[in-house]
Structure 1
């Protein structure tokens, strides 16, 4: 789980690293997944994983280097992440927003939906593309998909055949929800695409993925 990095008692003036304008999250940079904030503005500095602005206010900066290390060691993973980032960014999301969404979907950023169970993965361009294509084929417009991804980015990390398609099938067969009614439902409550348990009223503590919420 991501957390704040404590300020070292040994920090001195030399520990403060001033960063130039927009040095983070350039098209070829690695994602800052601990937060989806905008890139550094002029005058901001970093101290042991935190940022201090000219006004003296502290902000959280990424303290988790796990993804950066994993991707830096493998050029194929870097390429895969950047390709997936481009797919998500095409729905008018910033680089930071796209990275945060992919981070939530694939276990690099904590999400209540997964709890502690999601294994960290570098996403597959093909898998992410297939999920987006399937959702579009249901009748969702690009604007609909933007709203859906903003509410439930974890859908990109759900199994397309095992969860997403199965759940759409249940909505059609069990509830008779089809066509425009289906697309409106998915935009309003996209988490239904990730439901994969049904406690039937006998709670098993997996409420974020349970059909009992529907």
Structure 2
């Protein structure tokens, strides 16, 4: 008898002497022992036993978390914890960061409607739109706003009006507008008349920028739409909103 035939006969006998479900391979019956290490995570192949290993987060994180205290220091939600309704997705690293406070149903609806404006007008993904809106309205960084806007709730009207300035006043294409918003999302929360259109007027009157030249200047330096002061060469430490940078 060949070696293959002997192995088949042995497998058949083992199946008859046990209560194993017929038609399953030996590897599936015993539970597959082959494992592959991917980074710090062990991936099991084939049949899994009922005993599960602790999650990677529970093994690596030394901080305790609970439903009453939903997030530990590494910002990973505990089992059964309630997450904030909207999340900020950092596309560069693929991580998910929840907003710092829970949104109620009305706020969540307004947040989603504001993100949908970017999705619809600029053809951005929902995750990227949420991240840009969060930064624009002071939820994730104060590098530009410096406490002027802190966790301000976005509105679809504000976002639409800001995009209208790019599309109509500056004659940008959707691709150009998307590039500008990605570089400087804070413009979405700037006052449309008092800041955006006022600065476009100043670029025309003081620097004689008009038409395509004006559009190219804004694409090159989107933050110029937010400038609100001019130190006149005597630096006051607010360079991110000063005309001296232009």
For normalisation by structure 1, the TM-score amounts to: 0.71
TM-aligned CA distance change 1:33 to 1:161, over 3 Å: same
Deviation per CA, 1:26-68, whole angstroms, max 9, x where unpaired? xxx93322734576xxxxxxxxxxxxxxxxxxxx6526531xx
Q: CA RMSD in A?
A: 2.7
| Relative contact order, higher structure (CA 8 A, sep 6+) | 1
Q: What SS does the aligned partner of 1:33 have?
A: strand
C-alpha change, 1:108 and 1:34, in structure 2 (3 Å) is farther
Q: In structure 2, what is the equivalent of residue 30 of structure 1? A: 85
Unaligned segments of structure 1, at least 5 residues: 1-5, 20-28, 40-59
Superposed, 1:20-99 pairs within 5 Å as: 30-33=85-88, 35-36=90-91, 61-62=96-97, 64-66=99-101, 69=102, 71=103, 73=104, 75-90=105-120, 91-99=122-130
For the pair shown, the structure with the greater C-alpha radius of gyration is 2
- CA distance in structure 2 between the partners assigned to 1:9 and 1:204 by the alignment: 42
- Give the unaligned 5+ runs of structure 2: 1-59, 66-71
Structure 1 stretches of 4+ with a deviation exceeding 6 A read: 15-19
Distance of aligned partners of 1:38 and 1:95 in 2 relative to their CA distance in 1, 3 Å threshold:
farther
Give the conservation status (yes or no) of the 8 Å contact 1:113–1:208: yes
Give the TM-score normalised by the residue count of structure 2.
Answer: 0.63
Corresponding position: 1:191 with 2:231 = no
Alignment length (residue pairs): 172
Q: Distance in 2 between matches of 1:145 and 1:112?
A: 22
Q: For the Cα contact (< 8 Å) 1:144–1:187, is it kept in 2?
A: yes
**Structure 2: distance between partners of 1:125 and 1:204:** 34
The partner residue of 2:206 within 174, 183, 194 is 174
Contact 1:34 1:64 in 2 (8 A): no
Structure 1 residue 149 corresponds to structure 2 residue 181: yes
